[in-house]
Copies of this chain bind each other. A is one copy, B any other.
Amino acid sequence: MPTPVYPDLAPITRHLRAMYQSRLLIAAVHHLRVFDILAEAPHSPCDLQARLELRGRPAMVLFPALCAMGMLAYDASGKLQLTELGRHLVRSHQPMLADYLGLESQDPGVLEMVERLRNDGPVSTEEGIAYVKEGAGPSPMDEPEVARTLTLALAGRAQTLAPLVARHLPGGRRHLLDVAGGTGFFTYEWLLLHPEATATVFDRPAVLAVAAEVLERFGRSDRPGAATVRERVQLLPGDMLTDDLPETDLLLAASLFHDWPTETCRHLARRFAGTLRPGGSLWVHDAFLNDTLDGPLAVTDYSAQLFWVTKGRAYSRREYRSWFQEAGLKPSPEAIPTQMDYGLIWARKPR
């Protein structure tokens, strides 16, 4: 059985997340009055954020989304202005569709989005900030049942994307550290391609219980070399924010940074850079906003979903590169698109 090739499943996740564009648009028109404010004058993103009394994260979820929908655009001086379409969402404009959108303004998803935008997350954290552990508090990912459900829910995406990602990582006699590796699919596919390589999958203990089952099945598959994969991988439990990380040649952060606020991302980039051997490289597989922070729509939808369920959002490659540089790494200017609106970027640690 050769390396599997799957069709790009992006349409599935795009339709799944399309509801977030509706929520953001209706919230902006009817509750935050973004269009009425910009009808007065273009605003810098900073000024608009202040005027709306938003924090940075919700602003960086909302503004790129409204640009991706074609309702706002940056003018030559970098200010956000209304597009011709966007003007038709201003209450004083004739004709306007603001009141037509208002018919959906009391939709529960819209109201919840408004609350989360204003509060930079859910008002009650109990049902909100999911799936990320920070500090000494308990993590939902330490509840065996929750960890199992979420890890398996994410397994299909990892399984689909892993063969594509594995092909682009360097091979040979290297060690890969797959941080927050979940099921470990990325690691197993990579080890299969490189018979001399070794790897560590690092995650919470309850997640690694699932990874061990997936690894067991992977090792028993009839793909050539699958049996040796089990012997070359270590499942290492820990807290990536505080625990020592093992030295490595390659570090993979797949769907990782997007769960965290920028300060944590910078902290993680420094930790990851610190554990790389000289000449080693940090690889990020994620969905990236345009560097111009105006789309693409599939990623602004995803960013809104991440905003809803985690402490993070989607970031641009430029944002990643700045964290890498701060951490002493040399970012590659390249970006490799994979599937499902994801791509790969990387940065090297000088020798």
Give the B-binding residues of A (Cβ under 8 A): 6-7, 9, 11-13, 15-19, 21-23, 25-26, 69-71, 84-85, 88-89, 94-104, 107-109, 150, 152-157, 159-160, 309
Contacts and interface: CB of A to CB of B under 8 A. Distances in A.
Contact of A18 (B21, B70, B103, B155): B21
Contacts of A26: 16
B12 A89 contact: yes
A6 B95 contact: yes
Nearest to A101: B16
Contacts of A157: 95, 97, 100
A85 B25 contact: no
Nearest to A66: B15
A17 B100 CA distance: 11
A90 to B, nearest CB: 11
Given A11-B70, A108-B108, A153 B16 contact: no
A334 B94 CA distance: 32
Contacts of A25: 12, 15-16
Contacts of A107: 19, 109
Contacts of A85: 7, 9, 11-12
Contacts of A95: 6, 155-157, 159-160
A39 B156 CA distance: 18
A19 B109 contact: yes
Closest 10 pairs (CB-CB, A-B): A19-B22, A19-B19, A95-B159, A18-B18, A95-B156, A99-B153, A108-B108, A97-B156, A15-B69, A95-B160
B6 A156 contact: no
B13 A97 contact: yes
A102 B109 CA distance: 17
Nearest to A10: B85
A7 B160 contact: no
A18 B21 CA distance: 7
A88 B156 contact: yes
Nearest to A130: B103
Nearest to A103: B153
Contacts of A15: 21-22, 25, 69
A84 B12 contact: no
11 contacts: A9-B85, A9-B88, A11-B69, A16-B104, A18-B19, A18-B21, A19-B109, A88-B156, A99-B156, A100-B154, A109-B109
A170 to B, nearest CB: 25
A285 to B, nearest CB: 16
A198 B152 CA distance: 66
B153 A102 contact: yes
Contacts of A70: 11
A83 to B, nearest CB: 9
A132 to B, nearest CB: 15
A13 B159 CA distance: 36
Nearest to A150: B103
Given A12-B85, A16-B101, A154-B100, A159 B94 contact: yes
Contacts of A102: 153
Contacts of A156: 88, 95-100
